[in-house]
Structure 1
Amino acid sequence: MEQLKCCVLIPTYNNHKTLAKVIDGVLAYTKNIIIINDGATDATALILESYAELEQIHLPQNKGKGNALKLGFQKAVDLGYDFAITIDSDGQHFPKDIPIFLDALETETNKNVIYIGSRNMNQDDVPGSSSFGNKFSNFWFWFETGIRLKDTQSGYRLYPLREIEKLKLYTPKFEFEIEVIVKAAWSGTLVKNLPIHISYDDAERVSHFRKIPDFARISVLNTWFVLVALFWIKPRDLYRRFRKKGFRRFVREDLLQSSDSPRKKALSIALGVGIGLSPLWGFHTIIVLFLAVLLKLNKVIAFAFSNVSLAPFIPFVLYLSLKTGAFITGEELIYTVDEMVDNLGFITHLKTYIIGSISLSIVASTIFGFLGYLILTVFDRKKIALNNG
Structure 2
Amino acid sequence: MKNCVVIPVYNSPYIDEVIKDALKYDYKIIVVDDGSDKKVSVPDDVILITHKQNMGKGEAILSGAKKAKELGYNFFVTMDADKQHLASEIHKLIAAYKTDSIVIGNRDFQHENVPDSSKFGRKFSNFWVKLETFKTLGDTQSGFRIYPTNILDLNIKNKRFDFEIEVLALHSYRNGNIIDVETDCYYPPSDERVTHFDKVKDNIRLSLIHTKLVIQRYLLLRGILWR
TM-score interval (norm. to shorter): over 0.9
Unaligned segments of structure 2, at least 5 residues = none
Match of 1:7 among 1, 4, 10: 4
- 2:168 counterpart of 1:181: yes
**Letter of the structure 2 residue corresponding to residue 220 of structure 1:** L
**Letter of the structure 2 residue corresponding to residue 19 of structure 1:** I
Aligned residue number for residue 95 of structure 2 = 103
Bigger strand share: 2
Mapped to 2, the partners of 1:80 and 1:205 lie a distance apart of: 35
Match of 2:222 among 226, 235, 247: 235
SS at match of 2:209: helix
Mapped to 2, the partners of 1:139 and 1:156 lie a distance apart of: 19
Mapped to 1, the partners of 2:27 and 2:51 lie a distance apart of: 22
Match of 2:201 among 208, 213, 221: 213
- 2:137 counterpart of 1:137: no
- 2:103 counterpart of 1:124: no
Mapped to 1, the partners of 2:147 and 2:3 lie a distance apart of: 9
Mapped to 1, the partners of 2:140 and 2:96 lie a distance apart of: 18
SS at match of 1:10: strand
Match of 1:34 among 27, 30, 34: 30
**Letter of the structure 1 residue corresponding to residue 116 of structure 2:** G
Q: Provide the TM-score with structure 2 as the length reference.
A: 0.93
Bigger helix share: 1
Structure 1 vs Structure 2 CA RMSD? 1.7
SS at match of 2:7: strand
- 2:69 counterpart of 1:72: no
Unaligned segments of structure 1, at least 5 residues = 240-389
SS at match of 1:115: strand
Residue 20 (structure 1) shift: 1.0
Aligned residue number for residue 156 of structure 2 = 169
Aligned residue number for residue 20 of structure 1 = 16
SS at match of 2:76: strand
Larger Rg: 1 or 2? 1
Mapped to 1, the partners of 2:118 and 2:191 lie a distance apart of: 17
Residue 79 (structure 1) shift: 1.2
**Letter of the structure 2 residue corresponding to residue 20 of structure 1:** D
**Letter of the structure 1 residue corresponding to residue 177 of structure 2:** L
Q: Structure 1, residues 26-60: CA drift from partner, whole Å, max 9, x if none? A: 00112411000011113x52xx24x1321110111
Residue 122 (structure 1) shift: 4.0
Contact 2:3/2:27 (8 A) holds in 1: no
Q: Provide the TM-score with structure 1 as the length reference.
A: 0.55
**Letter of the structure 2 residue corresponding to residue 119 of structure 1:** R
Mapped to 1, the partners of 2:193 and 2:83 lie a distance apart of: 6
**Letter of the structure 2 residue corresponding to residue 79 of structure 1:** L
SS at match of 2:218: helix
Identity of aligned residues (%): 37
Aligned residues: 224
